[in-house]
Amino acid sequence: MLLDYAPILILLGLVLGFALFNVLISELLGRRRIALGKADAYECGATGVGDARLRLSIHFYLVAVLFILFDVESLLLVPWAVAARSFAAQGVGATVFAEVVGFVLVLGIGLAYVWRKGGLTWDR
């Protein structure tokens, strides 16, 4: 049984050896260049302004969680819509449809609540 995995283990050993060899050679033979901007953070060519530890409003996280929630809803509804005919052919179409309507109703009530409370207004 271990003999079956021998080619994979040999390939793994060769890959790790090659990676370690390249890192070691570049460390030993590479030139050491000291530059002024080498240790600075790179932000797509723009110079950094302010502190990296920016405090964000809790509202930002609320919008992010709501996005994930409704994204998951759409991910669950698409496979159901694709399989709806097979559910109907099996005779459980009405039950599955009622469950999906309940699911969407609960999420719709949640969306209405958040909307009413002003959770979707971005500029507070």
- 46: in domain: no
pLDDT of the residue at 43:
67
Domain count, the chain: 1
- DSSP 8-state symbol, 33: -
Domain extent, residue 65, equals 58-117
pLDDT of residue 110 exceeding 90: no
Q: 52 in a domain, yes or no?
A: no
Residue 17 banded pLDDT, cuts 50, 70, 90: very high
- What pLDDT does residue 9 have? 94
Paired residues of 43 in beta bridges? 46
Residue with token string 């000291």: 34
Q: What is the pLDDT of residues 37-81, one digit of tens each?
A: 666 666 676 766 777 677 777 778 888 888 888 888 888 888 888
- The type of residue at 66 is L
Measured distance CA(93)–CA(105) in Å, rounded: 18
| Position 80 in a domain | yes
**Alpha-carbon torsion 39, 40, 44, 45, what sign?**
negative
